[in-house]
Structure 1
Amino acid sequence: MGEQKTTPDHPPLNQFPVWRLIKWTYRIFCWMFIITLICSAALGVAILYLKSKPLPPPEISSSSKLYDAKGRYIGQIDEGEYREPVKLEQVPQSLIQATLAAEDKNFYHHWGFSLTGIIRAVIANLKAGHVVQGASTITQQLARNLYLTHDRTWSRKIKEAILTVQLELHYTKDEILEMYLNEIYYGHGAYGVGRAARVYFNKNVEQLNLAESAFLAGIPRGPQYYSPYFHLPRARQRQRYILDLMVRNQMITAQEAQQAKQTTLAIAEPSKPQQIRASYFRDYVIQTAVLQYGLEESVVRRGGLKIYTTLDPRMQKYAEESVKQFLGDKKDLQGALISADPHTGHIKAMVGGKDYSKSQYNRVFARRQPGSSFKPVLYLSALENGFTPLTQIISRPTAFAYEGGIYRPSNYRGQYANRPITLREAIARSDNIYAVSTLFHIGINKEIDMARKLGIKSPLRPTPSLALGSYPITPYELAQAYATIADGGIRHPLTGIRKIVDSYGKVLVENETNPIRVTSPAHSYVLTRLLTSVFDSGGTGHRVRQMFLRAAAGKTGTTDWDGWLSGFTPDLVTTVWVGYDHSRKLPHHEARLSQYIWGSYMKKATALQPARIFPVPQGVKGVYIDIETGYLATPFCKHTRLEFFVRGTEPRQTCPEHPGPVKRSGNDPSLWERFIDWWNSF
């Protein structure tokens, strides 16, 4: 038998049925199509999800800046990242191109990730032997800087990728680039190109040339490594490399690059950020912006705002020096000072304590008993209700009956004139009996009404002790009241802010004061003239004249716990308080320190102001009176004074104890009588 042949299970390849090959190809194509369709759908759903999912707002924080009354920069409102945010159109094209060449040349042509960029970076770094080029795109860097840490973990990289896609979906390329340029760190405390241009070249960003732009663009890769202050040759080498990249990417010509390489760079001297010294005033500005104008505190502190204040740095310096001079060696003794322009309400200086580093409590807003410094409120109301500078009340121990019982005020150290005294003398001596008598004469509610008109908002009760300043108010409120008197009865709300502008130049707040007339210029002026006696010999504030000789009016105030002096010149009002924080009695010799602080400060603060007297308004008449009798003075009166009255309330009868020449005959008035009539006509 011969050998039997077997048939193979599968035919040779060249004998494979064509229909089966087509069938397998079709199946593969279908599966690929289905997989592609599923992936596309999943990608579409993912994109729609990320598009609809809110992206955390990019917080490019920048410490807000304070400017003084003349618009001069005086310091940051908060320590931290120093930025000067700019718009993309402010950035020169050379800096934009240099940044793209250095960081992401295909930025405008990808969706947040660049495969070619990764390959290019790897090759460049291998050739250089160290990292000279990054693989991350600008969008990736921005996502990391805005929202993430710089940890080298897979979870962080995944989050970065997701946030990168979201940034590309939510913002335009120009918006992303603008955020990046304002966020990136350039070393030496400079965040963003605006601040970097200022730090390294002392220029606005729009003034940068090609050489400076390429130089700055090279720093973010390693702010310490390429610092011009530590490694200038290395930084220049990096600049030249970036210029070559710009030529290679056809952003500039080779000739332009060569010129830039040969350009001398004027690197600015390194400087520390200037810090504001008016720390209590700074805190007040923050609180005002938040509580009065409704801004978020985080925005006020770190929103890159420009806050234009009313502060006068020179006056602020004098205020701090004066408080420190007289309180510096007094353990635990504290003080407060607020000074303002009465014609505008603009606060020029504010000191809330003698050492901000030890206590940040601003005592300008602490409620304390004002004592006799509150009496001008009473006497202004009295002048509106029939009192004149010559109104007399007996100064002697007196008991006053009222609905709550019997009130027995006393004068300091039991000193009484035991005779009738005038309003002028009562103010100069700070007579308490006269004050309480006045309160009962005009009615308690009228003093409360006047306090409200002058700007005092603290609680006040209708009791006899109100006349003596027994209810606590703040130095800020007392300064407001005196400023209203100083401006002839017009109340300008005290303020420390003129304008607030955001980082893009939009005006958020513009303080337009609404002055209100609350009393007549005549009554305010008469009271002002009476308050000048406080600084005369025998007045409670006579010590001020040892330091300050200009025209001034004011009132002292002393309680068991507080020492006050609030006063003003024609152009500046200042209130000073001294005392202890925790219910500790204040010796009288320490209470007087408020006068020395006031006098020292006012002497320095007004040195550059023209010396002026208080201008006499309409409705006021000045006449010479006999001090002893209160009648119109004659040439034969030995003790006279020029006294001012609201027109119509001045005395009209000449002094009967010192009459002029007797008329001998006829009905015509004598020369003296004609002179008196002429004088009284004014």
Structure 2
Amino acid sequence: MGLLGLPVFYGLLLLTLYALPAPKLFEWQTWSTAYLDQDGQLLRLTLADDESYRLETQLEDVSDSLIQAALLYEDKDFYDHSGVDFTAIGRAFWHTYVVKNRQIGGSTISMQVARMSTGIDSSHIPGKLQQMLYALWIEAHYSKQEILTAYLNHLPYGGNIEGIEAASLIYFNKSAAQLNTAEAMALAVIPQNPSKRNPLSTKGYAELMDARARLLQLWQDQYSEDKHSEDKHGKNKQLAQWFDLPLSFRSPRQLPFEAPHFVNHLQKTQPFARNRLHTSIKLNQQKRVEAWIKRYLSDTQSLGYQNASALLLNHQTMEVEAWVGSAGFFNDEISGQVDGVTAKRSPGSTLKPLVYALAMDQGLIHPLSLLKDTPSRFAAYTPENYDLAYAGPIDATDALITSRNVPAIRLAAQLNSPNLYQLLQQAGITEMNTRDHYGLSTVLGGMETSMLELTRLYAMLANLGQFQSERTAHTQSKQSHPLSIPENTLLSPESAWLTYHMLTQNPPTDSPHYSVSNTTKTNSNAIAWKTGTSFAFRDAWSVGFDDQYVLAVWVGNFDGTGNPNLIGRKAAAPLFFKIFRDLQSTTENNNTSSLNSMTLKQPPELLKLNVKKVDICEATGFLPGKHCPMTVKSWFIPGVSPIKTGNVFRAVPVNIQSGKRACRHQPGKTRLDVYEFWPSDLSRLFQMAGIQRKQPPEYEADCQLEQLSADATPPRITTPVKGLVYFLTEDEEQLPFEAILDADVKHAYWFLDGSFIGKSTPNKPLFWNAEPGKYLLTVTDDHGLTDSIELEVQRMGVR
């Protein structure tokens, strides 16, 4: 072929390469992920599938100095050739094969991309020709920027480090965009001989510095008219200032391994994440929580506490800022790599606030409604309080903050739709069995949840009933006000806000006057919190929130070993308050703002909440009648909260001469005296406690039935419970019938489908020899007032 034929051949070759499909560049490649905290601090750098550190980056995210240095050192005519620098190839051939004074490669950046992406052996002439051909093919289909980007992403930097972004992050703990000129030149010379110029060895460091000095000379010759380098932000720096300073290279062995359970969670839930992931974690918060857990467990060794977990969530942004899965990730003695944040465990009593919120939404109670903490039976379920005692009449707020089991079970049994089980379904609690499987035990921790799920539920209370999932990636966008997204609202803003105020009455355990028996309602720091203890003392919980954060703390053992000291208030609450107080002290003057910042402390009128304070009879919790001796203010949801006026305090006519209760008031013969008409179940508790109540005298003998029932309260059947199916076992054939009776009722008469079956007295049940079937159960008191429920009885195992 003559000299005139070479251009024709070359042109035909290029046309052929243009006609071919584009070659694949590194499509087989896998990548590392750099997990960063909110401020860009590295938490962990993962390995790619081939055990290499390799981070993908774009050309615009690489320092100008690095790009200039790489082009100057490797291919200064990169933008002027079509993939092969024939002059450089000729020079390399002459020195390598003719003169044989030294071996020169002569490869352009495009040729190096061809070799790295295909594995071509270019150490011999056929391989070099193949490399040149592939480089021309690449140039025919990719822009110079795309080729340079591929090149910088796959350069070897020693050991298992590939690509400029991974090298920059590992060696200098910064992104490639942040490299100064001295650092850029150091990295630019490593790929030419990464084993010989290994910066982590003494000899390699010296070789690298020599190569960088030669590059500096080329740089100064190239830019002799300007001995200053300008970085991407336009800040002029003198090269001498950087080159006089020694460079410190970090080894991959020194890479951080922070928030390990959190990063593991992200790897499971976001397996295809790559490059840099700015997570929601705040490393300073993470380390403080970890330190408190280690210190606390060290201080309480004598109590047998072995492990703890904690989760800190900023409910204003829904970002997880600290995630501590165990007290020690590498501690095999406590199974430290198990993640206590996602592990399913019994939550104890921590779900009770949701029961009270639902009850307020459904008009069953307000915060000072009088509840009954009395022995109760719900089909085969007989709940007991932690202290095996009963408080009798107790207002809803005190019942919640002292964690009385029976009032919470009573409320849960009265809930319509949604009930607690349905609310947990709507909130995405996973691995739920059927509602019948748990029954009412869900209230006391019968259904297992994770700390993460529990924290979401408390964040819903903190965000006025709006349910949202947590965010694990950091975002600058602000959250909308919770009242503006009704479709995500699982509780009304009113009930959530009232529940918050009820929980803030729970006295903190770090108060100087705190004791378990002292429940003085004071919490100056406005932390709404609740504890939980699982069955057999396996799990101790404390969960709560203020205007910015939700914090959940668990103390226990991953193997489920019980410990009588694992009680929520004793084991988890002290750690909870140590962390929260530290948190409040560090964020007091650095509070992040959002659209709903300080929501919980804002007056309800600013939040446009339908709540107001009304007078409540202190003794009964009902709206006060005219004879109520003392009233208090209670929050109330107009149109929702119960509006019943209490009739415990009644004015009755008393015969002046006999002292008996008259049938009707006759001025001059009778006087009106106020007496207390407590229901039979509460009256019995007062008697057991030795508390005297002003009970009404007996009626005169000639009173008619209609006169007796004029102001009386009808009976209410409590056992059997309405809506429950009762199952008979071989050992249990009798079913108790009980009803709450008015204060002056002496007898209750029971009927099944209209047939009389017996009578009972206050607080003494009638036992019926049960038979399977469906019945209408009716009770009538001696005032002639009645109550009825439908009753279904089945034999165990028979449908």
Distance 1:206 1:578 in 2: 43
1:215-226 mapped onto 2 (5 Å cutoff): 217-223=188-194, 225-226=196-197
Amino acid in structure 1 at the alignment position of 2:383 = P
Q: Is the aligned partner of 1:275 residue 2:270?
A: no
Q: Is the aligned partner of 1:563 residue 2:540?
A: yes
Distance 2:613 2:542 in 1: 27
Please tell me whether the aligned partners of residues 45 and 255 of structure 2 are also in contact (alpha carbons under 8 angstroms): no
What RMSD over aligned residues (CA atoms) do the two structures have, in Å?
Answer: 5.2
Please tell me whether the aligned partners of residues 399 and 407 of structure 2 are also in contact (alpha carbons under 8 angstroms): yes
Q: Is the aligned partner of 1:521 residue 2:498?
A: no
Q: Partner of 1:182 in structure 2?
A: 153
Q: More helix per residue: 1 or 2?
A: 1
Q: Partner of 1:495 in structure 2?
A: 471
SS at match of 1:557: strand
Please tell me whether the aligned partners of residues 506 and 528 of structure 2 are also in contact (alpha carbons under 8 angstroms): yes
Please tell me whether the aligned partners of residues 533 and 567 of structure 2 are also in contact (alpha carbons under 8 angstroms): no
Distance 2:619 2:315 in 1: 35
Amino acid in structure 2 at the alignment position of 1:470 = G
Distance 2:514 2:377 in 1: 25
Shift of 1:640: 8.8
Q: Partner of 2:683 in structure 1?
A: none
Shift of 1:602: 0.8
Q: Deviations over 1:545-587 (max 9, x none)?
A: 9xx9622222221122322221122322112223333443343
Unpaired runs of 5+ residues, structure 2, are 229-236, 590-597, 651-799
1:443-592 mapped onto 2 (5 Å cutoff): 443=416, 445-452=418-425, 456=429, 459=432, 461-462=435-436, 463-499=439-475, 515=485, 516-535=488-507, 550-560=525-535, 561-589=538-566, 592=570
Shift of 1:470: 0.9
Distance 1:541 1:349 in 2: 29
Change (3 A) 1:484 1:162: same
Q: Partner of 1:7 in structure 2?
A: none
Q: Is the aligned partner of 1:602 residue 2:580?
A: yes
- TM-score normalised by length of structure 1: 0.70
Distance 1:567 1:440 in 2: 25
Q: Deviations over 1:87-136 (max 9, x none)?
A: 169654x7656534533455456665556435534776899999785443
Q: Partner of 2:312 in structure 1?
A: 339
Q: Is the aligned partner of 1:322 residue 2:295?
A: no
SS at match of 2:554: strand
SS at match of 2:410: helix
Distance 2:475 2:572 in 1: 33
Distance 1:182 1:219 in 2: 14
Change (3 A) 1:391 1:112: same
Q: Partner of 1:22 in structure 2?
A: none
Distance 2:524 2:415 in 1: 35
Q: Percent identity?
A: 24
Amino acid in structure 2 at the alignment position of 1:275 = P
Residue of structure 2 aligned with 1:411, choices 385, 393, 401: 385
Shift of 1:380: 1.0
Q: More strand per residue: 1 or 2?
A: 2
Shift of 1:375: 1.2
Shift of 1:464: 2.3
Please tell me whether the aligned partners of residues 94 and 100 of structure 2 are also in contact (alpha carbons under 8 angstroms): no
Q: Is the aligned partner of 1:433 residue 2:406?
A: yes
Shift of 1:45: 11
1:138-149 mapped onto 2 (5 Å cutoff): 138-148=109-119
Please tell me whether the aligned partners of residues 578 and 594 of structure 1 are also in contact (alpha carbons under 8 angstroms): yes
Q: Is the aligned partner of 1:171 residue 2:139?
A: no
Distance 1:127 1:540 in 2: 94
Change (3 A) 1:517 1:164: same
Change (3 A) 1:627 1:365: same
Shift of 1:600: 1.5
Amino acid in structure 2 at the alignment position of 1:283 = N
Distance 1:480 1:526 in 2: 18
Shift of 1:597: 2.1
SS at match of 2:460: helix
Amino acid in structure 2 at the alignment position of 1:416 = Y
Q: Is the aligned partner of 1:368 residue 2:338?
A: no
Change (3 A) 1:473 1:544: farther
Amino acid in structure 2 at the alignment position of 1:388 = H
SS at match of 1:117: helix
SS at match of 2:576: helix
Q: Is the aligned partner of 1:395 residue 2:373?
A: yes
Q: Deviations over 1:589-622 (max 9, x none)?
A: 4654222221221111111344988444243334
Change (3 A) 1:340 1:91: closer
Shift of 1:382: 1.0
Shift of 1:46: 8.4
Please tell me whether the aligned partners of residues 428 and 539 of structure 1 are also in contact (alpha carbons under 8 angstroms): no
Residue of structure 1 aligned with 2:330, choices 351, 357, 360: 357
Amino acid in structure 1 at the alignment position of 2:526 = A
After TM superposition, the structure 1 stretch with the greater mean CA deviation from structure 2, 391-400 or 331-340, is: 331-340
Q: Deviations over 1:323-376 (max 9, x none)?
A: 323346598944332221233322222112222234433221222222211111
After TM superposition, the structure 1 stretch with the greater mean CA deviation from structure 2, 641-650 or 475-484, is: 641-650
Shift of 1:389: 2.8
Q: Deviations over 1:471-529 (max 9, x none)?
A: 112211211111111222233432122349xxxxxxxx999898533333332232223
Shift of 1:313: 2.6
Please tell me whether the aligned partners of residues 51 and 169 of structure 1 are also in contact (alpha carbons under 8 angstroms): no
Amino acid in structure 2 at the alignment position of 1:584 = T
Q: Partner of 1:312 in structure 2?
A: 282
- TM-score normalised by length of structure 2: 0.61
Please tell me whether the aligned partners of residues 356 and 499 of structure 2 are also in contact (alpha carbons under 8 angstroms): yes
Change (3 A) 1:184 1:423: same
Amino acid in structure 1 at the alignment position of 2:422 = D
Counting matched residue pairs gives 593
After TM superposition, the structure 1 stretch with the greater mean CA deviation from structure 2, 597-606 or 524-533, is: 524-533
Please tell me whether the aligned partners of residues 455 and 480 of structure 1 are also in contact (alpha carbons under 8 angstroms): no
Q: Is the aligned partner of 1:379 residue 2:356?
A: yes
SS at match of 2:420: helix
Change (3 A) 1:435 1:178: closer
SS at match of 1:607: helix
Unpaired runs of 5+ residues, structure 1, are 1-28, 291-296, 501-508, 658-682
Amino acid in structure 2 at the alignment position of 1:320 = E
Distance 1:63 1:585 in 2: 40
Distance 1:136 1:315 in 2: 50
Change (3 A) 1:207 1:350: closer
Please tell me whether the aligned partners of residues 102 and 242 of structure 1 are also in contact (alpha carbons under 8 angstroms): yes
SS at match of 1:380: helix
1:65-76 mapped onto 2 (5 Å cutoff): 65-68=35-38, 71-76=39-44
Distance 1:557 1:183 in 2: 53
Amino acid in structure 1 at the alignment position of 2:347 = P
Amino acid in structure 2 at the alignment position of 1:136 = S
Please tell me whether the aligned partners of residues 185 and 191 of structure 1 are also in contact (alpha carbons under 8 angstroms): yes
Amino acid in structure 2 at the alignment position of 1:75 = L
SS at match of 2:321: strand
